[in-house]
């Protein structure tokens, strides 16, 4: 009996090994299908566009599934869509239409090649999208491009990955819309200017900074807050300043002059430099005795502001500081 069991076992193992030896693992294991690169929510949000002269380029990526690289080319054609865009707004904001994401305006991009090929021996093709005029975009809004595969002009594709939302982010040297950028108040003071000036108060919170143009950002003028999001836009317009970074200072190649202006309706006056508060943007490198260095981006500002003509001015002497890694900025 035992010999019979052994014989059967050996026969099964021998058959299995024989099947393994005869199977060609180098042949294609899956169907070659075209898919549009995205996350599980059908959104592609890995790219950030730099605010720079001449604009920037992002890519819509079409990939080809399969265990092996194909020896033939695959045609890919795209066309505009809106179903994912509409679904995103409905699922995230429902009836709060004032918060809806927006399509990227036509004046801010060009998409010249809606038909390309995945070459033989390659696993993807990248469709270039050329971005410009991003300084015209509100840093408070969400922007998308929505495209899908044109089934009449495209070879075999995955119906579950045939459409994508491209999220548009922008960044300059000072801030980005992809993540929240906060500068911490350091040795900063706000004083109410009146017949009986108050005691300077020290803001203890940080100030969120938003990119506008290549060399400009927006931030709160003082230590107020935007309040409830339903009133945020009105408060942003009333409470925010625009800081423009200009030419390098002659004394320090790591420092640049700045100009403080109203963002919308706020009354703001830039004041003369006062000691450290000299209206500059500077890369501040702080080194320790053992040779280690910490790098900071700093706005050193001196100005006064008020939101209504009947209000007294608030004088601001601020050092706004954010630690950063210069090596990461080069990536």
Q: What phi-psi label fits residue 94: left (phi over 0), alpha (psi between -120 and 50 degrees) or beta?
A: left
- State the DSSP code for 327: H
Band of the pLDDT at 180, cuts 50, 70, 90?
A: very high
What whole-number percentage of the chain has pLDDT above 70? 89
Tokens of 23: 């199977």
Q: Is the dihedral of CA 258, 262, 266, 272 positive or negative?
A: positive
Task: Please tell me the pTM assigned to this model.
Answer: 0.86
- Cα–Cα distance between 294 and 286 in angstroms, integer? 5
Q: Is the dihedral of CA 166, 38, 178, 236 positive or negative?
A: positive
- The CATH classification number of 182-329 equals 2.40.128.440
- The CB-side HSE value for 164 (13 A sphere, CA atoms) comes to 25
- Cα–Cα distance between 105 and 150 in angstroms, integer? 22
- Cα–Cα distance between 319 and 187 in angstroms, integer? 6
| Chain centre to alpha carbon of residue 63 | 23
pLDDT digits (tens, 9 = 90+) for 259-303: 999 999 999 999 999 999 999 999 999 998 888 899 999 999 999
Q: Return all residues near 1 (Cβ < 8 A) that are at least 6 apart.
A: none
Q: Return all residues near 82 (Cβ < 8 A) that are at least 6 apart.
A: 146
Give the residue-averaged pLDDT of 64-75: 89
Tokens of 57: 């380029």
Q: Return all residues near 84 (Cβ < 8 A) that are at least 6 apart.
A: 42, 43, 146, 163, 164, 165
- The CB-side HSE value for 82 (13 A sphere, CA atoms) comes to 6
Strands 115-118 and 74-80: antiparallel
> Exposed, middle or buried by CB within 10 Å (0-12, 13-18, 19+), for 243?
buried
pLDDT digits (tens, 9 = 90+) for 125-152: 999 999 999 999 999 999 999 999 999 9
DSSP, collapsed to helix, strand or coil, labels residue 98 as helix
pLDDT, greater one: 110 or 17: 110
pLDDT, greater one: 260 or 10: 260
Judged by average pLDDT, the poorest of 17-31, 45-59, 129-143, 254-268 is 17-31
C-alpha angle 126/128/134, rounded to 5°?
A: 140
pLDDT digits (tens, 9 = 90+) for 185-225: 999 999 999 877 778 999 988 999 999 999 999 999 998 88
Tokens of 50: 């730099």
C-alpha angle 212/213/214, rounded to 5°?
A: 135
Measured between its terminal Cα atoms, the distance across the chain in Å is 70
For domain 34-171, the CATH class is mainly beta
> Exposed, middle or buried by CB within 10 Å (0-12, 13-18, 19+), for 27?
exposed
Residue 3 has pLDDT above 60, yes or no: no
- Cα–Cα distance between 162 and 153 in angstroms, integer? 13
Q: Where are the domains of the chain?
A: 34-171, 182-329
């Amino acid at each position: 009996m035992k010999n019979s069991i052994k014989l059967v076992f050996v026969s099964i193992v021998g058959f299995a090994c024989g099947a393994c030896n005869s199977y060609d693992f180098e042949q294609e294991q899956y169907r070659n299908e075209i898919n549009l690169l995205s996350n599980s929510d059908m959104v592609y949000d890995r790219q950030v566009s730099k605010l720079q002269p001449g604009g920037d380029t992002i890519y819509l990526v079409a990939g080809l599934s399969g265990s092996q690289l194909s020896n033939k080319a695959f045609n890919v054609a795209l066309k505009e869509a809106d179903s994912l865009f509409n679904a995103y707004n409905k699922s995230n904001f429902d009836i709060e239409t004032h918060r809806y994401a927006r399509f990227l305006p036509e004046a801010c991009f060009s998409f010249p090649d809606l038909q390309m090929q995945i070459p033989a021996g390659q696993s993807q093709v990248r469709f270039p999208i050329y971005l410009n005029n991003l300084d015209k975009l509100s840093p408070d809004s969400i922007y998308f491009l929505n495209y899908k595969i044109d089934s009449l002009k495209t070879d075999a594709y995955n119906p579950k990955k045939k459409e994508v939302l491209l999220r548009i982010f922008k960044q300059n040297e000072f801030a980005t819309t992809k993540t929240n950028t906060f500068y911490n108040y350091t040795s900063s003071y706000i004083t109410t200017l009146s017949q009986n000036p108050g005691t300077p108060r020290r803001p203890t919170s940080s100030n969120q900074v938003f990119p506008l143009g290549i060399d400009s950002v927006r931030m709160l003028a003082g230590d107020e807050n935007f309040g409830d999001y339903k009133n945020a836009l009105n408060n942003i317009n009333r409470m925010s300043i625009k800081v423009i970074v200009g030419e390098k200072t002659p004394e320090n190649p790591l420092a640049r002059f700045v100009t403080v202006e109203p963002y919308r309706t706020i009354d703001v006056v830039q004041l003369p430099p006062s000691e450290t508060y000299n209206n500059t943007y500077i890369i501040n490198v702080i080194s320790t005795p053992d040779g280690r260095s910490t790098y900071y981006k700093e706005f050193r500002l001196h100005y006064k502001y008020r939101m209504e003509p009947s209000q007294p001015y608030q004088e601001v002497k601020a050092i706004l500081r954010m630690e950063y890694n210069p090596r990461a900025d080069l990536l």
